[in-house]
A = this chain, B = another copy of it.
Amino acid sequence: MNNNISNLLQKIKNQKTNMYNGDFLLTWERTDSEINATMYIAKILKEMHKDNISTKVFNSGLAISNFRDNSTRTRFSFASAANLLGLEVQDLDESASQIAHGETVRETANMISFLSEVIGIRDDMYLGAGHTYQKEVSDSVNEGFKEGVLPQRPSVINLQCDIDHPTQSMADLCHLETYFGGIENLKGKKIAMTWAYSPSYGKPLSVPQGIIGLMTRMGMDVSLAYPEGYGLIPEVIELSKKQAAKNGSKFEIVNSMEEAFKDADIVYPKSWAPFSVMGKRTELLYAKDFDGLKTLEKQCLTNNAKHKDWECDEKKMKLTKNGEALYMHCLPADISGISCKEGEVSSDVFEKYRIETYKEAGYKPFIIAAMMLLTRFKNVPQLLDKLLKENNVRVK
């Protein structure tokens, strides 16, 4: 066994978790021990994969992938995680199913779950609806399991909702832990989670919310920056404030990218639509008011265009700690002159950190797999011990 693995194993043995037969929906529903365990197990799985040790714990079983929005990377991360553990992905494509014909969520959740172990859901389009939908699915399979309809209770994993994006923020945490050489080194570091200009509109709030909701627990000083009017869901702001206070760290909101960048150890410049706009958008979507949606989009883009200076460029990067803050992004970024005329980040800054952003993304499959293990097995440290002892090869 390599040293990394044995060190990591030691760390998870100290973490008490209570996630068996549950879901992973919001990071702030999970204890510190559970957050740590998820992170370390992801890292163990990554090491085992690299060392060609099989982590196939399921001999059969489905992992359902329910994407209500386009996705490449999260879709592939979910598929990779499922495959790594021995589950087969089945897409629940709602346009190609009878759900469109008026089926209730409750029924469908059970109908697809007879032999399913995990349900991954991405639903970030409707503010106030994504998380609610995921809870509904969770309640439905819970009932099915209790009533003897389902032989097992599939776990619901949030692959992005209107409130949180835990597989992203947890992958980001893994990246930070590695980059700074340990979770304890994150204490006192400053992270600037800032809005950035993008020529598109309607990007979800879940990434910035996920970041402030998780990093304020790590003892990090969080500076949230956005142009006036681009606020996030108030409840998540409150929560972040409280967490920072509890952990003796800072949480501030500023209206200047430069201010947030000042002495930052990490910057995370990323576009999003204002909370108030997302609210209006949801109303219009429900009402199928497509003219209204067009008007809203137009207004919004006009407003966005006033903030083209919110671009992460070399000049602003110089303001950060030693001019060398770590640049992060959930990808794909809107790169000025490459993916768009003017965007979230200048091409030179992006290119400098490009490989780092790829590595950041590389944790996602393992974070999802860790969530699957913790929600499907009672004693994951013991399970990993067993796999390491069996030492079956992944590739002959």
Q: Which residues of A contact B (CB under 8 A)?
A: 46, 49-50, 54-62, 70-73, 75-77, 79-80, 83-84, 86, 88-90, 92, 96-104, 107-108, 110-112, 114-117, 144, 147-151, 200, 331-332, 334, 338-340, 355, 358-359, 361-362, 364-365, 376-377, 383, 386-387, 392-396
Complex partner residue of A112 from B76, B102, B359, CB under 8 angstroms: B76
Q: Are A108 and B151 in contact (CB under 8 A)?
A: no
> Closest 6 A-B residue pairs measured CB to CB?
A72-B97, A80-B115, A102-B339, A57-B396, A149-B358, A73-B111
Q: Are B60 and A72 in contact (CB under 8 A)?
A: no
In the complex, what distance in Å separates the CA atom of A331 from the CA atom of B104?
11
**B-chain residues with CB within 8 Å of residue A57 when the two chains form the complex:** 395-396
**B-chain residues with CB within 8 Å of residue A111 when the two chains form the complex:** 72-73, 76, 331, 358, 361
Known: A102-B340, A332-B98. A147 touches B365 (CB 8 A): no
Q: Are A54 and B62 in contact (CB under 8 A)?
A: no
Known: A83-B60, A115-B49, A147-B355. A108 touches B394 (CB 8 A): no
Task: Provide the main secondary structure of the chain A interface.
Answer: mixed
**B-chain residues with CB within 8 Å of residue A108 when the two chains form the complex:** 72
Q: Are A115 and B84 in contact (CB under 8 A)?
A: yes
When all copies of this chain in the complex are counted, the total is 3
A-B contact pairs, 25 of them (CB 8 A): A46-B151, A57-B396, A59-B392, A60-B83, A60-B86, A61-B83, A70-B97, A70-B98, A70-B100, A70-B101, A72-B97, A72-B103, A76-B111, A77-B114, A79-B88, A83-B115, A89-B90, A101-B200, A102-B334, A102-B340, A103-B332, A114-B364, A149-B355, A149-B362, A150-B362
Residue of B nearest to A94 (CB): B72
In the complex, what distance in Å separates the CA atom of A79 from the CA atom of B77?
20
Residue of B nearest to A103 (CB): B332
Q: Are A99 and B72 in contact (CB under 8 A)?
A: yes
In the complex, what distance in Å separates the CA atom of A58 from the CA atom of B83?
11
Complex partner residue of A115 from B99, B365, B377, B392, CB under 8 angstroms: B365
In the complex, what distance in Å separates the CA atom of A338 from the CA atom of B104?
9
Q: Are A54 and B60 in contact (CB under 8 A)?
A: yes
CB distance from A340 to the nearest CB of B (A): 7
CB distance from A196 to the nearest CB of B (A): 15
**B-chain residues with CB within 8 Å of residue A73 when the two chains form the complex:** 98, 111-112
**B-chain residues with CB within 8 Å of residue A102 when the two chains form the complex:** 332, 334, 339-340
Q: Are B114 and A362 in contact (CB under 8 A)?
A: yes
**B-chain residues with CB within 8 Å of residue A114 when the two chains form the complex:** 76-77, 80, 361-362, 364-365
**B-chain residues with CB within 8 Å of residue A92 when the two chains form the complex:** 72, 76
Residue of B nearest to A357 (CB): B107
In the complex, what distance in Å separates the CA atom of A332 from the CA atom of B110?
12
In the complex, what distance in Å separates the CA atom of A363 from the CA atom of B59?
21
In the complex, what distance in Å separates the CA atom of A46 from the CA atom of B151?
9
Residue of B nearest to A392 (CB): B59
**B-chain residues with CB within 8 Å of residue A361 when the two chains form the complex:** 110-111, 114
**B-chain residues with CB within 8 Å of residue A104 when the two chains form the complex:** 338-339
In the complex, what distance in Å separates the CA atom of A395 from the CA atom of B75?
24
In the complex, what distance in Å separates the CA atom of A265 from the CA atom of B296?
58
Q: Are A60 and B70 in contact (CB under 8 A)?
A: no
Q: Are A72 and B98 in contact (CB under 8 A)?
A: yes
